[in-house]
Amino acid sequence: MSDKKELRKRYKKILGSLSEEERASYSRIICEKLSSLVKGKIFLSYSPIGKEVDVSRINELYLPAYPRVLKDHHMEARLPKDSRFLISRYGIAEPDPDHSILIDKKKLEVILVPLVAFHESKIRLGHGGGYYDRYLKNTDALKIGVAYEIQKTEEDFSQMHDIPLDMIVTEKSIY
């Protein structure tokens, strides 16, 4: 079993090796694949940070809810009423709670999940806070990991608390 901290560090460096042009091109391809999976659905997306797949195109085309970080490593889904976002303590744009609607996770049909690395068994390596693993419990929503193909690893890093995804979409494949 691989050390998750070391694996995160390695894959963040690998992500950094993609050029801006590659990231933009791959993100566009990934968004095209995601479009048919989220169209007409109540879904949770995310505001990309760092070198994550840029799903802004999906966010602009459709009306997603976004995660908002809570205390104790939990999160909630909020649907913005307007374009008011606040920057969280992690530097992530989140809907302003005074200008958004709380969405019950049982009503979500699709959840787009960012990741640092993934195994083709559909286990994701996140940023390390456990927010998504806690949130993905007890939901019937289609859980879709969003990644670049270079984020795929053969290393076994899974642990008991890891929640498997239903699929992972990259620019090259759907796992």
Mean pLDDT calculated for residue range 130-142: 92
| H or E stretch at 135 | helix 131-136
Mean pLDDT calculated for residue range 61-86: 93
What is the pLDDT, as a whole number, of residue 3? 86
Q: What is this structure's pTM? A: 0.93
What is the pLDDT, as a whole number, of residue 2? 61
pLDDT of 15 over the 80 cut: yes
Domains detected in the chain? 4-169 (3.40.50.10420)
Measured CA to CA, the distance from residue 44 to residue 64 in angstroms comes to 5
Contact 7, 117 (CB under 8 A): yes
The secondary structure of 12-69 as a DSSP string is: HHHHHTS-HHHHHHHHHHHHHHHHHHHTTS-EE-----TTS---HHHHHHS--BEEEE
**Residue 26, phi-psi category: left (phi > 0), alpha (psi -120 to 50), beta (remainder):** alpha
